[in-house]
Amino acid sequence: MVPGQLTFISGGVRSGKSAYAETLVRGAQGKRNVYIASGVARDREMAERIARHRKDRAQDGWWTIEQPQQLSEALPLIRKNDAVLWDCVTTWLANELYEGFEQGSLCADTPGCMERKWQELKTAIDSIRMKAVYVAVVSNELLDEPLVDQTYQEWLGKIHQWLASSADEAIEMENGLAIRRK
């Protein structure tokens, strides 16, 4: 079985990544357009934003999967020949890396925890590609920003490098312009 095309789209905040990815997925002509969303409503503003996005996507014919962690759990919901958009890696990484915050036991501080999540992520993306005709993965480019959390930035860099090397296309968004890197 031939894996579906993978496009990795990165760029700064509000650079047009998601809108561009949505356009690509719509053009892929999958049986369904599936949106995997990683956001979590931790406050009122985020809850309102998620509700607005759900409504907008539903009106536009998207089938949404809310999957803030463990991307592999979305796999049974994806059908053969779907076109899939996952938005976004940076939110997923924060959700996974800082899992256990409320209990004072971060995944980031637990030996092997993030390594297991990293292997699961790679397997999940490869498995989604085996079902979907097209997969677009969106991520924020934060590596040019001042160092805030070295562990987060190291993992993000590792994930971005793997995605760019695995992707059929790698796009960087800047001011609404798509710059093809691969």
What does the pLDDT read at residue 156?
94
Domain ranges for the chain, please list them: 5-180
Which residue matches tokens 């993965």? 137
CA angle 98, 33, 12 (to 5 degrees): 45
pLDDT digits (tens, 9 = 90+) for 17-66: 999 999 999 999 899 999 999 977 777 887 787 777 777 777 778 999 99
Buried b (16+ CB within 10 A) or exposed e, 149-173: eeebeebbeebbeebbebbebbbbb
Amino acid found at 64 = T
What does the pLDDT read at residue 81?
97
Residue 57 annotated as binding site: yes
Residue 12 annotated as binding site: yes
Q: Among this protein's residues, is 160 annotated catalytic?
A: no
- Choose the catalytic residue: 26, 32, 53, 122: 53
Instruction: Please give the backbone phi and psi of residue 61, each rounded to the nearest 5 degrees, phi first.
Output: 85, 15
Residue 56 annotated as binding site: yes
Residue 18 annotated as binding site: yes
Confidence class of residue 101 from pLDDT cuts 50, 70 and 90?
Answer: confident
Residue 120 annotated as binding site: no
Neighbours of 39 (CB within 10 A): 18
pLDDT digits (tens, 9 = 90+) for 145-159: 666 788 999 999 999
- Higher per-residue confidence, 11 vs 104: 11
Which CATH architecture fits 5-180?
Answer: 3-Layer(aba) Sandwich (3.40)
